[in-house]
Amino acid sequence: MKRMWKFASVAAAASMVLAACGGSDSSTDTTAASDTTAAASEPAASDIKVAVVYLGVPDDKGWTYQHEQGIAAAEAETGVTIKRVENVPDNADSEKTFEQLASEGYNLIFATSFGYGSPMAKVAAKYPAVCNQWATGAKFLLTKDGGGEYATFDDVPKNLGTYFGAAEEARYLSGLAAGKATKNGQLGYVAAFPIPEVIRGINAFTLGVRAMNPSATVKVSWTSTWFDPTKEKQAAEALLDSGVDVIAQHQDTTEPGVAAEAAGAFWVGYNSDVREAAPKAFLTAPTWNWGLFYAKTIEAVKGGTCPSDEYYGSMADGMVTLADPSELVDADAVAEIEAKTAAIKDGSFAPFTGPIRNQDGDEVLKAGEKAELGALLSMDYFVEGVLGSPKG
Amino acid sequence: MNQNIWVLMTGDSVALATTLILAALGALFTERTGVLNLGVEGVLLTAAISSFIAADSSGSVWVGLIVGSLAGALLAGIHAILAVVLRANQIVSGLALVIFGTGLANYLGKPYEGKTISVKLTDMTFGPLTDIPLLGPILFEQDIITYVALAAAVFSSLYLFRTRPGLEVRATGDDPATVDAQGLMVSTIRIRYTLFGGLLMGLGGSWLMLAESAAWHQAATTNGVGWIALALVVFASWRPIRLVLGAVLFGFTLQLPYTLQAENITFIPQAFLQMVPYVATLISLIALSRPGSTNALGAPKSLGVPFVRDER
């Protein structure tokens, strides 16, 4: 368990280095950073000042785009104008961005990437009046046991909360559509990094696929990047060349979908409903609705409290959603998706319910047993039916 | 049609090699006259975003290719002025070009970040030829620029080693003083081929944008291809035909991680495989930036040395 977290953090660290090198956006950083100065002098629409820090730009049609939808919705709902800081690499350098925002009197800061955690925690400790929220984070990672610097969980600054959600629920449902759509039982999955979040998604998808087609396999191709149109396309094309007829993805561009459409295959997207990118291939996509959390948190901070818990949203509370299945999805699959959606929302069903076997055929969850949140958040094995290595 | 995945992969490698061939040929011509232009990465990025904007606003890939190529030549022109006319340190000037080109692409591309392009360069098909086992997917299912790149390499080889202007190019790189004594203008030749090199790099960058990547994303468009191109020239001993073989080999290593995973061969970590082309690049760049160390590899003898007539 401990080793796995270390591995995850090393992988994440590596990704940050890559992002930092590949980004070479230092000019943008400066612009973004100086923008905050300008915004600070403007009068805010309410008595609190809110900022969001983005890894990329709001129109990437992926991760940042979907956060931007939520931020815009929260602005409309709360009447607060939110400051966007774009293109901030999620490495140690981001500390100066957080420090600047804090020193300029921002009351609430949202950080939308995994790598912002440690720099954000440092600034949170220095500015206890500022409320910090870390997307996809886990406080455990800030403790000594998780590779961080705080002795125990309780030493992590109290003005820091995390937020994420059970994408695995929507992944499972998208797997139902894919499992029904495949003709030869071979599916491909273009994936970013071998960390629990991604592994969990692949497993949930595969469980959904095999619920419709018990002998189907899902072949995984790692790209070592969250956002790279060319590499994602390359990976998808190689999978399609090998014979898969459905492509799913844990990536932020729509290139795997474009490749699938060109090969006459089906596609399950991610992050946002981007069916127009490959209308002849699109089945459905697990998507995010961050707006509810943003609005709720802004209201809480307005009321004088800073949520410091680890918020894990779900389909039940609306943070995780599934794009409406396209007309390519078989009616049986649509009915099954609707039934399972209802069951997930009322709590009578969870994707990770035993019996579940890993790739080696060993039983990891007994029949009827549901996986606990801790086990989900640290998942480091592939379930039966996945081809590839969970180590990357 | 059901072709073997390794055959398809070789076809993909040839396609991936297109930018490498064009960019490296550009670098080769530049270096053959004695000018070291390390700015390839910046030239590619600027050419890529220029071709994106031109193709997107005109609705024509051809306009995109032309504008992108000219943008490449324009950027190389900056290097020509600094390195040839002003005799600046070529390594410094080249590196400055990388930073400038990256920043310029960032500036020009800001409004387009994440946007997909409306027109694309499509593969040509040759009917029954495309269906030939083995050779079909490799040779007869590429886009026009890939064929142009392959043809350009062959012509470059003939030009450099079989024609008088080619001899002048090589002589300028090896012994500019003698060329000067023959009554030829060393600076003119160097500027001309630095610009021509930039044009080829620009075409490579445009192809990368218009054929290979469907969306503009600064951080992921070139992925260090410009640096690989520089390494490739060293590996090819400054010879165009070897350069094509090397480019396909590099294309192969860039594609290999994905093909292995598609074949469910996973005993080698992906991160390691993805690193291989860049390690090879790093090694050759070290050689390239140490004057003298590349002579044994067949480098032009006055590579990176500004020509000053008085010092003859």
pLDDT (mean) for A308-328: 94
- Which tokens is A222 given? 């790692």
List, as own/partner pairs, every contact residues A90-93 make where C-beta atoms lie below 8 angstroms and the sequence separation is at least 24, other chains included.
A90/A16, A90/A19, A90/A55, A90/A114, A90/A115, A90/A116, A91/A16, A91/A17, A91/A19, A91/A20, A91/A115, A91/A119, A92/A118, A92/A119, A93/A20, A93/A29, A93/A119
Q: Is B257 helix (H, G, I), strand (E, B) or coil?
A: helix
Binning pLDDT at 50, 70 and 90, where does residue B235 land? confident
Which pLDDT value is given to residue A362?
93
Q: What is the pLDDT of residues A228-286, one digit of tens each?
A: 888 898 899 999 999 999 999 999 888 899 999 999 999 999 998 889 989 999 999 99
Nearest CA in chain A to B212: A230
- Write out chain B residues lying below 8 Å of A57, CB-based: 113-114
Q: Which residues of A touch B7 (CB under 8 A)?
A: none
A-chain residues within 8 Å CB-CB of B102?
A: 24
Mean pLDDT is lowest, of A20-34, A328-342, B202-216, for A20-34
The whole-number average pLDDT for the span B208-212 is: 88
For residues A4-31, average pLDDT: 41
Q: Which residues contact B305 (CB under 8 A, 6 or more apart)?
A: B34, B291
Let me know whether A253 and A363 are in one domain.
Answer: yes
Same domain for A208 and A151, yes or no, is no
| pLDDT beyond 60 at A4 | no
The residues near A336 (Cβ < 8 Å, ≥ 6 apart) are A176, A180, A211, A212
Q: What was the pLDDT predicted at A36?
A: 39
Residue A9 lies inside a defined structural domain of this protein: yes
Are A151 and A181 in the same domain? no
Q: Determine which of A29, A221, A246, A387 to mutate to test the interface with B (most B C-beta atoms within 10 Å).
A: A221
Using one digit for the tens of pLDDT, what is the confidence trace for A66-120? 999 999 999 999 999 999 998 888 888 899 999 999 999 999 999 999 889 999 9
Whether A211 and A245 share a structural domain:
yes
Q: Quote the minimal CA–CA distance from B117 to chain A in Å.
A: 11
Q: Quick check: A233 and B12 CB within 8 A?
A: no
In angstroms, the separation between the Cα of residue A158 and the nearest Cα of chain B is 35
Looking at the fold, whether A85 and A124 belong to one and the same domain comes out as yes
For a pLDDT cut of 90, what percent of chain B falls above it? 51
Mean pLDDT confidence for A152-172: 93
CA distance B4 to chain A (A): 8
Number of domains in chain A: 2
Beta-carbon contacts below 8 Å between A and B: 123
- Among A41-50, B244-253, B262-271, the minimum mean pLDDT is found in A41-50
What pLDDT does B132 receive? 77
Tell me whether residues A241 and B259 touch, CB distance under 8 A: yes
pLDDT value, residue B273: 85
Number of structural domains chain B divides into: 1
Q: Which residues of A touch B15 (CB under 8 A)?
A: none
Interchain CB distance below 8 Å, A224 and B214: no
In-domain check, residue A151 = yes
For residue B220, give the nearest of A220, A228, A235 by CB distance.
Answer: A228
Of residues A3 and A258, more confidently modeled: A258
Residues A69 and A143 in one domain: yes
Domain span at B177: 5-311
Question: Residues A307, A174: one domain?
Answer: no
Domain around A11? 2-165+290-313
Q: Identify the band that residue B3 occupies on the pLDDT scale cut at 50, 70 and 90.
A: low
Handedness of CA A226, A228, A231, A235 (dihedral sign): positive
CA distance A322 to A6: 32
Q: Given CB atoms, is A40 within the 8 Å cutoff of chain B?
A: no
DSSP calls for A314-377? -TTTTSEEEPPP-TTS-HHHHHHHHHHHHHHHTTS--SSBSSEEBTTS-EEE-TTPBPPHHHHH
Minimal Cβ distance to A219: which of B106, B255, B262: B262
Same domain assignment for residues A139 and A25: yes
pLDDT at A201 over 50: yes
pLDDT, one tens digit per residue, over B98-140 is 999 999 998 998 888 777 777 888 887 777 777 777 777 777 7
Q: Which residues does chain B have within 8 Å of residue A392's beta carbon, measured at their own beta carbons?
A: 269-271
A264 located within any domain: yes
In a domain, A204, yes or no: yes
Whole-number pLDDT of residue A1: 41
User: In chain B, which residue's Cα lies nearest the Cα of A21?
Assistant: B219
Do residues A224 and A343 share a domain?
Answer: yes
pLDDT interval class at A381 (50, 70, 90):
very high
Compute the average pLDDT of residues A331-339: 95
pLDDT digits (tens, 9 = 90+) for A343-357: 999 999 999 998 999
Q: What is the CATH number of the domain that holds A130?
A: 3.40.50.2300
Residues A330 and A269 placed together within one structural domain of the fold? yes
ipTM exceeding cut-off 0.90 for this assembly: no
**Nearest-CA distance from B196 to chain A in Å?**
27
| Residues 140-199 of chain A whose Cβ lies under 8 A from any Cβ of chain B | 188
CA B64 to chain centre: 17
User: Which residues 274-333 of A are in CB contact (within 8 Å) with B?
Assistant: 277
Nearby residues of A326 by Cβ (< 8 Å), 6 or more positions away:
A275, A279, A282, A283, A284
Q: What is the pLDDT of residues B263-303, one digit of tens each?
A: 888 788 888 888 888 888 888 777 776 766 666 677 888 88
Task: Taking residues B231-235, report their average pLDDT.
Answer: 89
CATH of the domain at B30: 1.10.3470
- Give the pLDDT of residue B2: 47
Give pLDDT, residue A148: 83
Looking at the fold, whether A374 and A231 belong to one and the same domain comes out as yes
| Same-domain pairing of A69 and A207 | no
> Residue A318 falls within a domain, yes or no?
no
In the predicted model, what is the mean pLDDT of residues A1-22?
43
Tell me whether residues A255 and B271 touch, CB distance under 8 A. Answer: no
